[in-house]
A and B are shown apart, each in its own frame.
Chain A
Amino acid sequence: MAVINYDSELRRAGAHSTHGWRKLTYLAQRHLLGAIGLVIMVLFVLAALLADFIARYDPLSVDSLHRLASPSAQHWLGTDSFGRDVWSRIVHGARISLAVGVGSTLLGSSIGVIVGLASGYLSGWVDLVFQRITDILQALPLLVLALVMTAALGPSLPNVIIAIAIPLIPTVARVIRANTLALRELPFIEAAKSVGMSETRIALRHVLPNTLAPLIVLMTAQLGSTILTEASLSFLGLGIPEPYPSWGRMLSESAAEYVRTAPWLVIFPGVAISLAVFGTNLFGDALRDILDPRQRG
């Protein structure tokens, strides 16, 4: 996988130093949108990690005196129908989105990598079987498969992670398989074979590292769609159960009633979802430009 040599590009662009901070600022200027995406992602991760300090109230504590309060100095983003503080719930909701996003992307990608490597490297009947399973999983839209799986497994955080991870497997497996097939024919693999390296070792030490760039690009792209899928599942009432403050859950059907009476309940959780996904998409795009120059647009 060809990676742009930024050091030489920097020198050509007239940079004196190609190290550390300067390199970072150069990259940020060159990929401004990606840098903005990265900032959004960092803020989002910080909110999740520091939720206990940023939130001003307990996200689950019910306050019947202040139900459906509009945004004010006490409640920055207002309160919901149970009097729970919306800002605190959104901050804590970042944890759920992050857990589901990272959890299901990692789980789905690791299985996808194993399946793709095995499929491309072993070929034969293993490949044939994996290909058919991939076909089957790809014939169902992500949301439909995830919906049926959460309905089957029951609504809980680990089950939602599994339900979203499984539909991701085929896409990752396909990309890794195609890469493995191409790599297998290259001279350096032949060289490794001729010095007597075992097949497993070649697959793990030589093939896998060379598929990392497209894998990272794909995983970043999937992070956004896993966050969106979790939000959709929870919105439909089949994702993260009450009382956990999932962003999708906060927008759940009852939100349609509040469109008239309490618009802040509809606006803010949606802004949180869109912003988090937008950040990962911006960053993913820039990462693709950097790591996969063939797709540069």
Chain B
Amino acid sequence: MFAYIVRRLALMIVTLFGISIIIFVLLRVVPGNIVDILFDAAGFVDPTDKANLEKELGLDQPIVVQYLKWIGGLLHGDLGYSYVSEKPALQEILPRLPITAKLAALALLFSASIGIPLGVISAVRQGTRLDYALRVVSLSGLSLPSFWLGLLILMASVAMFGTMPIFNPNPKTWTEAFAIYAVPAMAVGFRSAALTMRITRSSMLEILRQDYIRTARAKGASERSVNYHHALKNAVLPVITVIGIEAAFLIGGLIVTETVFNIPGIARFLVEALRWRDYPIVQNLVMLIALVVVLANFTVDMLYAAIDPRIRYTD
């Protein structure tokens, strides 16, 4: 087990290292950097001014040197400076982090509390009209773009209250906090709930076909006891394993939802930084996202082994 954990951690580092190279190179093969953008906007360009600015930002150095500087800084907790605001990247990212974390946590909570029960009901009632209806609902949930759902919510809010929720970092009332965090979280979580429901359903169905369930039925256990006592416990495990996939799924949803609701989190910040070619911000945010996904997958695998005694990782 110990050897397995060490190996997994080593692979995680290899993965993150690979991502750092890919992102760094990708951002620099682009023709045109921020200096070009700034000077394009200004109109007339003095070549010496441009060269000076490029030098100041370190863009005149070879790409390998730029990369090593970034990675070296990263290991010391120095993320460089944002080209746009000229503030340290860490100062720009940190205050935005809790906003996105709150939204993501709420969305996960929403998706689990809706998706798991509905998935179980759908499986237990397999083949009935209820199952049919729930499957159609979950499929349509997966088909709605999160940003459109967000726009529809805004539209409903205008129709009902005559106004849209405006983000405020310190909501004063409970209703304000609900409008600011819970509503966008639901817009993101809806798709995840649909995904969770489908996974729970197929996992539950697989378990219900197993021999030990037949045995439980044969010894006269009630339908209720078989479904909720024997089957559910084992069916929920595979649902936990896909939290890693869900994390990746959620981040995609957060990017568009934060944009729709004008929420100043890190997901929207990534889009803004990409538009401005603010390399230090983009590369650090992408690394942060990769770290979250990789850690989520690792934690889930460990959790899985801890919960299910049948699973033991060996090298």
Contact = CB atoms under 8 A, between A and B. Distances in A.
Contact of A224 (B143, B147, B249): B143
Interface in B1-39: 11, 14-16, 18-19, 22-23, 26-27, 29-31
Chain B at the A interface: mostly helix, strand, loop or mixed?
Answer: helix
A176 interface: no
Contact of A270 (B18, B152, B256): B152
A147 B256 contact: no
Interface stretch (B97-105, B233-241, B270-278): B270-278
B300 interface: no
A274 B289 contact: no
A140 B19 contact: yes
A274 B18 contact: no
B286 interface: yes
Interface in B271-315: 271, 274-275, 277, 282, 286, 289-290, 293-294
Given A251-B148, A259-B164, A263-B155, A139 B255 contact: no
Contact of B143 (A136, A255, A259, A278): A278
Contact of B289 (A144, A273, A297): A144
A255 B256 CA distance: 13
B108 to A, nearest CB: 15
Contacts of B182: none
A236 B252 contact: no
Nearest to A141: B248
A203 interface: no
A281 B139 contact: yes
B151 A270 contact: yes
Chain A at the B interface: mostly helix, strand, loop or mixed?
Answer: helix
Contacts of A274: 140, 143-145, 148
A219 interface: no
B61 interface: no
Name the 10 nearest CB pairs between A and B, nearest first: A270-B148, A143-B252, A278-B143, A136-B18, A141-B248, A277-B143, A151-B274, A152-B26, A141-B251, A139-B290
A246 to B, nearest CB: 12
Interface stretch (A88-96, A101-109, A184-192, A227-235): A227-235
Nearest to A255: B151
Nearest to A253: B259
Contact of A142 (B27, B146, B154, B248): B248
A256 B151 contact: yes
A231 B255 CA distance: 13
Contact of B271 (A154, A236, A277, A278): A236
Nearest to A224: B143
Interface in A193-237: 224, 228, 231-232, 235-237
A161 interface: no
Contacts of A253: 259
B109 interface: no
Chain B, interface size category, equals 35 or more
A152 B33 CA distance: 11
B142 interface: yes
Interface string B243-260: 000001101100110011
B275 A238 contact: yes
A63 B102 CA distance: 45
A260 interface: yes
A147 B201 contact: no
B147 to A, nearest CB: 5
Nearest to B191: A228
B300 to A, nearest CB: 14
A3 interface: no
B66 interface: no
User: Which of B145, B202, B205 neighbours the largest number of chain A CB atoms within 10 Å of its CB?
Assistant: B145
Nearest to B16: A139
A135 interface: yes
A267 B140 CA distance: 16
B130 interface: no
A148 B255 CA distance: 13
Contact of A154 (B22, B30, B143, B294): B30
A236 B19 contact: no
B215 interface: no
Given A132-B18, A152-B27, 18 more contacts: A132-B11, A139-B19, A139-B294, A141-B289, A144-B251, A147-B270, A147-B274, A148-B27, A151-B30, A154-B31, A228-B145, A232-B147, A237-B275, A253-B259, A266-B152, A270-B144, A274-B140, A297-B202
A28 to B, nearest CB: 16
